[in-house]
Amino acid sequence: MLKLNVNDEISRLKSVVLGTAKSCGPTPKPEEAYDPKSLEHILAGTYPKEEDMREEMNAFAAVFEKYEVEVFRPEVLQDCNQIFSRDIAFVIENKLILANILPDREKEIDAILHVLDKIPEEDIIRPPEEVHVEGGDVMPWNDYIFIGTYTAADYAGWITARTNKAAVDFIAAQFPHKKVKSFELRKSKNARENALHLDCCFQPIGKGKAILHKNGFLVEEEYQWLVDFFGKEHIFEITSDEMYQMFSNVFSISPEVIVSEKNFVRLNDWLRNQGFTVEEIPYAEIAKQEGLLRCSTLPLIRE
């Protein structure tokens, strides 16, 4: 059995579900796109090819192997994009919460049943239907749970709005001893302005540092709260172009080790200057689908 344990974004990773790019199907039609960045690449004829994405995921898997992390992969579904395992479930403390994701993606949960079978039934939570939540919006951070949300009246009209107010309330009720802090995210049909998930514009990393992009937040006071919480001198503020490239969507294997995209030169240099070990891998093709390294992982156990 798996003894789930995730209390933050950075403690030493022991066990993870890494998505798969196998059999992810043909290039979607424009009307099938879930996010503005994918749509942009579909229309431009630059949507990523499966073989390139498989190579990128193999590079990620190799880093996990190097650090002796136990890696589970989803069962491969025919013609189904299963790269972003963060969307389908997430772990807080010893509970795995299944996401109520876009209905078309429900079968992705079936593809990790071999993992769910290793988790005690009482540790798996399936929220009620009105709770919309995806793992990219949820970050356990010690006494806190940070949640990205969108609560405006036009929520239903945005395919990029993935986590609602009901989800914030539901998670707060499940973990009453935690401080739940929610952040309104900017939703846009313009891929350069859209914050699909909280991890598209913010991520805490080791050594008390964080990566942040101001314009991903709708409410300046909420952005400012994070600046004050981490301290301005500990924050790497990314530009809108860097948000578009997914600079904040790196992944911590431990407080000292961060997996990052090899083209993120400005960030990677800063991380090394701060004393981090940076494991650089190619991930620019997968990034075209508005998801990157954190999105591709579902951590099950951190030390």
DSSP collapsed to 3 states, the chain:
CCCCEECCCCCCEEEEEECECCCCCCCCCHHHCCCHHHHHHHHHCCCCCHHHHHHHHHHHHHHHHHCCCEEECCCCCCCCCECCHHHCEEEEECEEEECCCCHHHCHHHHCCHHHHCCCCHHHEECCCCCCCCCHHHEEEECCEEEEEECCCCCHHHCCCCCCCHHHHHHHHHHCCCCEEEEEEECCCCCCCCCCCCHHHCEEECCCCCEEECHHHECCHHHHHHHHHHHCHHHEEECCHHHHHCCCCCCEECCCCEEEEECCCHHHHHHHHHCCCEEEEECCCCHHHHCCCCHHHEEEEEEC
Which pLDDT score, from 0 to 100, does residue 155 have? 60
Are the beta carbons of 53 and 83 closer than 8 angstroms?
A: yes
In contact, 281 and 262? CB cutoff 8 Å: yes
pTM for this entry = 0.93
From first to last of its 303 residues, the chain has per-residue pLDDT tens of 999 999 999 999 999 999 999 998 888 888 887 677 878 888 898 888 999 999 999 999 999 999 999 999 999 999 998 999 998 999 999 999 999 766 767 789 999 999 999 999 999 999 998 998 989 999 999 999 999 998 877 766 665 567 889 999 999 999 999 999 999 998 776 667 677 789 999 999 999 999 999 999 999 999 999 999 999 999 999 999 999 899 999 999 999 999 999 999 999 999 999 999 999 999 999 988 878 999 999 999 999
Supply the pLDDT for residue 175.
98
pLDDT given for residue 161 in this prediction: 62
CATH fold of 13-302: L-arginine/glycine Amidinotransferase; Chain A (3.75.10)
The residue type at 294: R
